[in-house]
Amino acid sequence: MKHFLITIDGPAGAGKTTVSRMLADCLFYRYIDTGALYRAVAYEAKTVEISPDNDAGLENLCHAMTLKFIRDEKGTRLLSNGADITDQIRMPEITMLASAVAAVPVVREFLLNIQRDMAREKGVIFEGRDMGTVVFPNADIKFFLDASHKARSLRRYNELKTQPLEDVENDIRCRDERDSTRSLAPLRSADDAIIINSTDLSAEGVVELMLSDIKNAFL
């Protein structure tokens, strides 16, 4: 099989990260979690107390940041200016802050360039919310992974185990509203995306569907 650029978009808790990693392993592709990049900016902004509405501060912060994915015995890790911040960026407060930071044009422009640099060589899967609509509108194949709000909330709750389920449900509802209504690159499926509802599917079932779609499209 030739090497392709594949995007997987969708709302929080739809299973994008798990499915993207599994699909990348099946295809021997690189996997890029673009949400982690926004979380990194949010984490660094919080560390130096820059608010999401401080465009100038965020721009200066971005220009001073060097972000890099590496693989080690723990899996894929994200380094910010050489420091491993993979675990720190998964806290609930960083999740919500990342959603706010993602709506800031200077941040999106900074990360857009990083993502496109990472895609120069194909054989890569990009997971995010606007990969197929904004960052890579000419991607070889685009998926949009969705699920019911209840299923997404339960998955995120089981993943984190740090908040009551009711709080997780509220957080996802707020994030859905923010991501889908923001004026800059709102969350939506690309017109040519393959939409998969994972509510009643296992991660393995979703990957099986995706592999079939890729085979049908390109073999």
Closest by CA to 214, choosing from 43, 51, 47, 29, is: 29
Q: Give the E-state strand segments of 47-119 in sequence order.
A: 67-72, 75-80, 83-84
Gap between the Cα atoms of 26 and 207, Å rounded: 9
Question: Is 12 among the annotated ligand-binding positions?
Answer: yes
Going from the C-alpha of 123 to that of each of 1, 26, 60, 198, the distances in angstroms are 10, 12, 32, 24
Gap between the Cα atoms of 129 and 115, Å rounded: 13
Gap between the Cα atoms of 162 and 11, Å rounded: 20
Question: Is 74 among the annotated ligand-binding positions?
Answer: no
Question: Is 13 among the annotated ligand-binding positions?
Answer: yes
Closest by CA to 173, choosing from 148, 199, 195, 203, is: 148
Gap between the Cα atoms of 23 and 208, Å rounded: 9
Gap between the Cα atoms of 135 and 32, Å rounded: 13
Gap between the Cα atoms of 39 and 183, Å rounded: 20
Question: Is 205 among the annotated ligand-binding positions?
Answer: no
- Cβ-contact 109, 41 below 8 angstroms: no
Question: Is 66 among the annotated ligand-binding positions?
Answer: no
What residues are designated binding site for ATP? 10-18
What residues are designated binding site? 10-18
